[in-house]
Structure 1
């Protein structure tokens, strides 16, 4: 019996949201992780080490995307798509039970870092897999609304992570949070990801992959000149969204150190922001089905290029309303972009290499983006001027705008 497209979207979205919850915990809890697993007499040095491992976890993502992508292009999207959640569940739960540096020494740092690398590897296949899976199950004229709901679920996964941490920080004291409270979100995430694995096993294989397996046509090469050009073009489109979203995940440390907002206020604002984005994503997705995804993406990044400095200047007011205003405007930009580029990306590549090429493009962008919090933190420590962050993002937005205009759809879709 053929599964309805709406049900496929729901099950795909549910698993993607659960996995994203697991993935974002590390950076949301960076302040506590740095003290327990990367101890140093200098707090800045400890944060550098923590964000360094965060960067390594993202740097490994292209490798994970290539490995899982090759298997997905050869043996089927469904098997790989389900198994990524199983690996994520294992790594996240282990992070929740790993003893601290004060208990087992350097082994704690190594184990925690390896778990983050496993998270990065599986995440390198998860979102590209979801994007590929939906693009081959859903009719192209409805991609916007279906992708909007899927990315909304990912946003809700991030919101759930922020909400859980906010609740714990409100209930527990700082000492309790540092001692054992930071473990609770990881333990919950491991269990939820395992549930997602069993749910995802029931989704059928995509019609496009089944048709490709029966075809006698020669498959495209990932290393052809044409494909490399397509990957670079997609990378240009993704670079600003990837850096902006990654920076937003590292917001707690940035806002606390730079503007001295309290962690409870930051986590509450981020929870609100994720819910706000999740609400807007289906709306922008529906809009992109009518006005065109390239047009909507171009307009969005152009708006940020014009008003980026004004958005960031809100933080200088150092009030709760200014914080919520900054988060709301930033998440509106993110929602508008995400509703477009996720649907555009898989259509750039032919079916035979779609999973691998989509994963490689997406993860290369996020590998570069993983270095952004590290660079931003270093520059701020040197020049003590937060306004430079807006300037960096505006430059990236202009690059994405140009790349969007040159992006071409693959002819075999």
Structure 2
């Protein structure tokens, strides 16, 4: 019987236990993660912006409304395989490291996106055209299942505790930048090409951009080193059991759910409210403006591009402020804001006044910034290192199944009810989920990731974090002492009660 676990003496936390992050490695890690995320959302953005054209190319025999729904449906179906990708890459990431998995996901993502631009039209190969499109989207969905969560963990495990919000916000900065690049290309192609030329071959060009972007992202991720937290986890395992490093046993998902149920549910709630809003604004909105409200496709996309450029400036500001005031306030602001302003915003969007349309979109965009600005720094802090990738990828992608259906469901609701306010009501449901989640979300700002030692930007900051860690330990010990005192009082009361009962019985002591 191995009793080493019970006999191992825990050493006091020392200054050398605080990880001081190398600034050059940190910049490389953030850039590599953000660029891969930008490529992922570049594709999603392009797909949403050219959905009308794709409907005509791959579903020409359907009505215009059904074409749009079918094209967006092809966008949504891959979300069903994202949990499979999340489980696969999550387990891989916890066993073999974050850096290796992120290099693999960006390869699959780049190849599948590039191949969309190569698919012949329905007129050329018939039913094979939409089937090949679906196959490429399924490959994307599988790889993306491990992409965002892996990138968020990669940045979070590298970031100093006091800068995690700011640095994590650049991950979704990359997402928005990818959308802007995709939308900008679509606007440029629509402006320079006649409609028939765009349908013939122009829509393919944005997907070809994924090739060089993927190569650049792969180079950066391959050059980045493994995260300090994962490296420390391997070193800890090696000290305890050298064989365990080779085997790297995984924790069952049953154990993860039983031990971290609250964290999983909080993760799902945060992902739902954030990504439903995300897909509503950045993927469905161009189609909504053109198909439901009658604006020209170029006009609708141009408005969204301007809004997204504004979001690029707000995004890092939210991350920076979250390091000062916390993550919970921003989730609360975003959720309450959606609850109050969704319906007025869509009334503005449905007006014929360009200024009001822009104002309506800007309101939703700023509320979305409140959530995307803290999501990448909040979610990795919910789980310990040894299961962080597996647990986060699984919960994230379960929620994404629902969130990814947003463009399709919103289009179907508008078409089925002939009510252009249905997207606003959809956002109200998301707001309620976000509001409920915010009450259970633990505050993680300026604290180490769960179960990890603190990360500092320099030696001086490490000394401050060490003192804060001591203060936190003292507070926790006081709380435990109070709980012990309560239990001792309860135990004494129970003993007195037992003795009184025993005294009334002739044969009990």
Query: TM-score if structure 2 supplies the norm length?
Result: 0.78
1:266-323 CA distances to partner (integer Å, 9 max, x unpaired)? Answer: 1111211221111111101111011100122112211221122111110121233233
> Counterparts of 1:274 and 1:361 in 2: how far apart (Å)?
27
> Counterparts of 2:371 and 2:44 in 1: how far apart (Å)?
21
Q: Give 2:265's aligned residue.
A: 232
Give the counterpart of 1:181 among 202, 207, 210: 202
1:5-404 equivalence runs, <5 A: 5-216=26-237, 220-224=251-255, 225-248=258-281, 249-404=283-438
SS in 1 for 2:88: helix
> Counterparts of 1:143 and 1:82 in 2: how far apart (Å)?
22
Tell me which moved more, 1-10 or 264-273.
1-10
> Counterparts of 1:221 and 1:407 in 2: how far apart (Å)?
24
1:128-160 CA distances to partner (integer Å, 9 max, x unpaired)? Answer: 111010111112221111012222122111111
**Please, which runs of 5 or more residues in structure 2 have no aligned partner?**
1-20, 241-248, 453-509
> Counterparts of 2:150 and 2:393 in 1: how far apart (Å)?
7
> Counterparts of 1:270 and 1:193 in 2: how far apart (Å)?
25
> Counterparts of 1:80 and 1:375 in 2: how far apart (Å)?
32
How far is 1:220 from its partner?
A: 4.8
How far is 1:324 from its partner?
A: 2.1
Q: Tell me, yes or no, if the aligned pair for 2:157 and 2:227 is still in contact at 8 Å.
A: yes
Q: What RMSD in Å do the two structures reach over aligned CA positions? A: 1.9
How far is 1:91 from its partner?
A: 0.7
1:179-224 CA distances to partner (integer Å, 9 max, x unpaired)? Answer: 1110010111222222211222101000111111122478654322
SS in 2 for 1:317: coil
**Please, which runs of 5 or more residues in structure 1 have no aligned partner?**
none
> Counterparts of 1:400 and 1:226 in 2: how far apart (Å)?
23
> Counterparts of 1:154 and 1:360 in 2: how far apart (Å)?
21
> Counterparts of 1:375 and 1:345 in 2: how far apart (Å)?
26
How far is 1:364 from its partner?
A: 1.7
Q: How many residues align?
A: 413
Tell me which moved more, 399-408 or 37-46.
37-46
The structure with the largest alpha-carbon Rg is 2
> Counterparts of 1:222 and 1:212 in 2: how far apart (Å)?
20
> Counterparts of 2:183 and 2:363 in 1: how far apart (Å)?
18
Tell me which moved more, 247-256 or 1-10.
1-10
Query: TM-score if structure 1 supplies the norm length?
Result: 0.95
How far is 1:388 from its partner?
A: 2.8
> Counterparts of 1:219 and 1:88 in 2: how far apart (Å)?
26
Tell me which moved more, 253-262 or 285-294.
253-262
Tell me which moved more, 73-82 or 192-201.
192-201
